Chains A and B, each alone.
Chain A
Amino acid sequence: MLIAALVAFGLTSKAQNVLGGGQVSGNIQLDGQISRADSLIGSENVPEKLLMNARADILYTNGNFSAGLRFEAYQNPMLGFNAAYKGQGIANYFAAYNGEKLGITAGNFYDQFGNGMILRAYEDRYLGLDNSIRGFNVKYRPIEGITLKGVIGQQRVYWDYGQGIVRGLDGEINLNSVIKPFAESKTRITLGAGFVSKYEADETVPSSVPGYKLNIPQNVGAASVRMDLSHGGWGLQAEYARKGQDPNVLNDYIYHEGEALFLSASYSQKGFSANVQAKRVDNMGFKSVRSQSGEMLYINYIPAITKQHTYAFLTLYPYATQNTGEMGLTGDVMYKIKKGTVLGGKYGTDIHFNASWIAALDTTTIGGRGTEGYTATYFGTGDAYYADATVEVAKKFSSKHKLVATYGYVLFNPIVEGHAGDMHHNHVFIADYTWKINKKNVLRLEAELLESDSKYTPEVDDKRCGDWIMGLVEYNFTSNFFACFSDQYCYRDGNGANYPQLSVGYTHNATRLQLGYGKQREGIICIGGVCRQVPASNGLTFSLTHSF
């Protein structure tokens, strides 16, 4: 901690005396809520009345040198954030030199190898996630088209650092830059490979056989190879990763090796695009502390390939990647019906189709803790976890009127959220209408309906509801001011939950203030011209962001 103070003081004096010039930039964010209890949405009466998360990033840059620190305060953490965040202080700091060929960062850094399947240090401030690595990161670019990286350090967990040490090497080569005759080729190829190893001291983990303890590997390695190939409108991306024996709390201490494959193929031209992705993940939960459950200390990142929806009822049952094992397919087609045709009209019509399907692996159990755990067939699948299909049609009728109509189907297996319950089918209908009254005034209306065969079962989950209806009215005066009222109501087969919410916001340049009153469900909300993740709340909320 003292080092942080020294770095900060050092920088201040340097900036003013030694280096001269330079620039300071940063951003500040304050989020607060004064919440009332509501068991239906999971908000509680808190003795401190006010909950608030705050952070400020301050960045100093001078030529190739940069340094920064982040002050965070959770007094106390807002709903949905882990109580371990309670407190305040300088959470992250770093100093970096970034030249044309060489880059070195000391302190907290974020980085990703390929698609992140073996290493991804990242943050998501709205989800309370930060697995940044504190240590050293070196990047070297010997010639154009080649990037080599090396990282070493420990990962942040709330206000502390995990005892595991993460070491990694990665190399990437763009063949078109390196092989001269290939420079102008229409075929573009980038290849990459990475290796990550984790060290954590031995510990006593009892075996399933009484009186014996497990032989825990202190070093666990993971490696991946990847390629990115494109030819005109065609594109193909692939990455394959393996992980050595890694008995940990996520897989209940089995010795099954990890494996993951990601494939993406696409074709596009003006007015049309298609993309297909496939993924298979087998026991790839990779953490720098083997006994850590929960969302922190992941070394790698296995993405959910399902589409990131932003309409409220399409995100009601979101999919979460099952690192222990899953197989999935997703496809996306966008088509623009040309202007001047019968269906296209004066402005053209946009059609967007998307479908995803995710299922468990087809596994056969061998044994429990201390064994291989299970075997899995490569192409076989078990129970469905999730499936969805959406069709979105966007039509501009005139320079003032625009309608986006969406139909979505969602199949959801509650086991992906870790609780029992029947798989349920949901149909979602959405109309999103924008009326540009004149240059400065814009009105947006949104109506959503969700029809589900999910039933309210208080013993299982008191938040569940069958059928929902929602309405939203948003008024914008230029991009500076907005007011929005929305209401979501559980109208059938449920607990009658009602979420009325009024929000107003003011944006000036890079400063934004937003106030809300009412009940809010957690999720991505796009109102007033920005999109952000919000926590569940019941009462008054406020948010201030400023960049400088």
Chain B
Amino acid sequence: MKKLILTLAAVAMAFGMMAQNVKTVPENVDVKTLDGKTVQTSVIKNDGKPIILSFWATWCKPCNKELDAISEVYEDWQAETGVKLIAVSIDDVKSSARVKPWVNGKGWEYDVYLDANQEFKRAMNVVNVPHTFVINGKGEVVWEHTSYVDGSEAELFEVVKKAMEAASEAE
């Protein structure tokens, strides 16, 4: 009986509130900069322009393919839409010390944060990496996708452009 009540509670909670849903990024989850300083996720801002929020790890090959591929066209994407890519590494202490040299060595021009105990990952309901979000100028998640295959960054950029256009139409 207890179990039934609990199950019903969970279901009620899920469905009772599902209706009113616009996903945003929580403000006060702790993450670290590559220099080791603790900051809150309120730093994830881009002056009303779109953001690509990408969860990745050094050991994740598709993640690295995605970030490498975007890196090659990042300047063009920025020039066209003002988009900013924020890469959140979920490497735990096994590999978190490798992230900074990894990012510099790759020459990625992204803002990178460390989420070594995966609090931010949990807050964003990320299950597997890569998991990529597109956030519009109002801070709303307008698209998310898990998995990357060579070439699928083109689809991502289409979404970013749409988010950009929607924002300028609203103005």
Q: Which residues of chain A have a CB within 8 Å of any CB of chain B?
A: 1-2, 4-5, 8-9, 11-12, 15-16, 21-27, 29, 56-61, 64, 66, 69, 71, 88-90, 98-100, 103, 110-112, 115-116, 120, 122-123, 139, 145, 147, 172, 174, 176-177, 188, 190, 228, 230, 233, 235, 237, 264, 266-275, 277, 301, 303-305, 307-310, 332, 334-336, 402, 434, 436, 439-440, 442, 476, 478-479, 482, 507, 509-510, 512, 524, 526, 528-532, 545, 547-548
* CB nearest neighbor in B for A400: B150
Q: Is the CB of B101 within 8 A of A235?
A: yes
Q: What is the bound-complex CA distance between A155 and B141, given in angstroms?
A: 34
Partner of B125, one of A5, A27, A145, A190: A27
Give every chain B residue within 8 A of A436 (Cβ-Cβ). Answer: 150-151
B44 at the interface (CB under 8 A from A): no
Contact, CB under 8 Å: B26 / A12? no
A361 to B130, CA, bound (A): 38
CB distance from B31 to the nearest CB of A (A): 12
Instruction: Report the Cα distance A268→B6, complex, angstroms.
Output: 52
Whether A270 lies near B107 (C-beta < 8 A) is yes
| Contact across chains for B155 and A174 when beta carbons are under 8 A apart | no
A-B contact pairs, 8 of them (CB 8 A): A5-B5, A60-B17, A98-B26, A275-B101, A307-B95, A309-B59, A334-B101, A547-B146
Chain B, interface size category, equals 35 or more
A228 to B93, CA, bound (A): 14
Residues of chain B with a CB closer than 8 A to A267's CB: 101
Are the C-beta atoms of A59 and B117 separated by less than 8 Å?
no
Asked if B61 lies at the interface with its beta carbon under 8 angstroms from chain A, I say yes
Taking CB atoms, residues of chain B closer than 8 Å to A110 are: 117-119, 122
Selecting from B32-40, B77-85, B161-169, the interface stretch reads B32-40
Q: Distance in Å from the Cβ of A257 to the closest Cβ of chain B? A: 22
Assess whether B105 is in contact with A336, with CB atoms less than 8 Å apart: yes
Let me know if B152 and A479 touch, CB within 8 A: yes
Query: Which of B27, B36, B94, B107 is in CB contact (< 8 Å) with A304?
Result: B94
Known: A264-B97, A275-B101, A478-B152. A531 touches B128 (CB 8 A): yes
* Apart from A237-B97, A270-B105, A529-B147, 18 more pairs, CB < 8 Å: A5-B5, A12-B9, A23-B21, A23-B24, A58-B14, A98-B27, A122-B92, A123-B118, A233-B104, A266-B100, A268-B104, A308-B58, A332-B101, A334-B105, A442-B150, A509-B143, A512-B147, A531-B62
A402–B6 alpha-carbon span in the complex (Å): 52
Contacts of B2 in A (CB 8 A): 1-2, 5
Q: Determine the distance from Cα of A140 to Cα of B149 in the docked complex, in whole angstroms.
A: 42
B97 touches which of A99, A111, A275, A301 (Cβ 8 Å) = A275
Min CB gap B82→A, angstroms: 23
CB distance from B141 to the nearest CB of A (A): 9
- A97 vs B92: C-alpha distance when bound (angstroms): 25
* CB-defined contacts of A277 to chain B, threshold 8 Å: 97
Residues of A contacting B76 in the complex (Cβ-Cβ under 8 angstroms): none
Which residues of A sit under 8 angstroms from B145, Cβ to Cβ? 479, 507, 509-510
Whether A547 contacts B144 by the Cβ 8 Å rule is: yes
In the bound assembly, the distance between CA atoms of A240 and B29 in angstroms comes to 26
CA distance in complex: A307, B98 (Å)? 10
Which residues of B42-76 have CB atoms within 8 Å of chain A's CB atoms?
A: 42, 57-63
Residue contact A25 to B125, C-beta cutoff 8 Å: yes
Q: Type the 1/0 row for B121-160, where 1 means its CB is closer than 8 Å to any CB of A.
A: 0111111111100000000000111111111101100000
Q: Which residues of the other chain, A, contact B7 by a CB distance below 8 angstroms?
A: 71
**A308 touching B14 in the complex, CB below 8 Å, given contacts A1-B2, A22-B20:** no
- Shortest Cβ distance from A416 into chain B, in angstroms? 15
B30 touches A15 (CB 8 A): no
Q: With a CB–CB cut-off of 8 A, which chain B residues contact A23?
A: 20-24
The docked-state distance in angstroms from the alpha carbon of A542 to that of B36 is 40
Closest to A55 in B: B127
- Contact between chains at B12 and A310 (CB < 8 Å): no
The reply to whether B151 and A507 contact each other, CB–CB distance below 8 Å, is no
A289 → chain B, closest Cβ, in Å? 22
A59 contact set on B, CB distance < 8 A: 123, 125
Q: How far is the CA of A135 from the CA of B147 in the complex (A)?
A: 36
Residues of B within 8 A of A479 (CB): 145, 147-149, 152, 155
A267 CA to B5 CA, complexed, in Å: 56
Which residues from chain A contact B103 at a C-beta distance below 8 Å? 268
Indicate which residue in A4, A100, A115, A476 contacts B40 across the interface (CB closer than 8 Å).
A100
Q: Which of B101, B128, B148 contacts A532 (CB 8 A)?
A: B128
A176 touches B117 (CB 8 A): no
Q: In whole angstroms, how far apart are the Cα atoms of A531 and B126 in the complex?
A: 13
In the assembled complex, the Cα of A112 lies from the Cα of B152 at a distance in Å of 35
- A188 near B36 with CB under 8 A, answer yes
Nearest B residue to A2, CB-CB:
B2
B13 partner residues in chain A, CB cutoff 8 A: 8-9, 11-12, 24, 58, 60, 69
- The residues of B that contact A266 with a CB separation of less than 8 Å are 97-98, 100-101
Contacts of B146 in A (CB 8 A): 507, 510, 512, 530, 545, 547
Least CB separation from B5: chain A residue? A5
Residues of A within 8 A of B27 (CB): 64, 98
Residues of A close to B58: CB separation below 8 A:
308
Q: How far is the CA of A109 from the CA of B73 in the complex (A)?
A: 40
Given the interface pairs A177-B37, A479-B152, the reply to whether A310 lies near B9 with Cβ below 8 Å is no
Given the known inter-chain contacts A59-B123, A110-B117, please indicate yes or no for A9 contacting B9, CB distance below 8 A: yes
- Which residue, of A23, A57, A235, has the highest number of chain B Cβ atoms within 10 A? A23
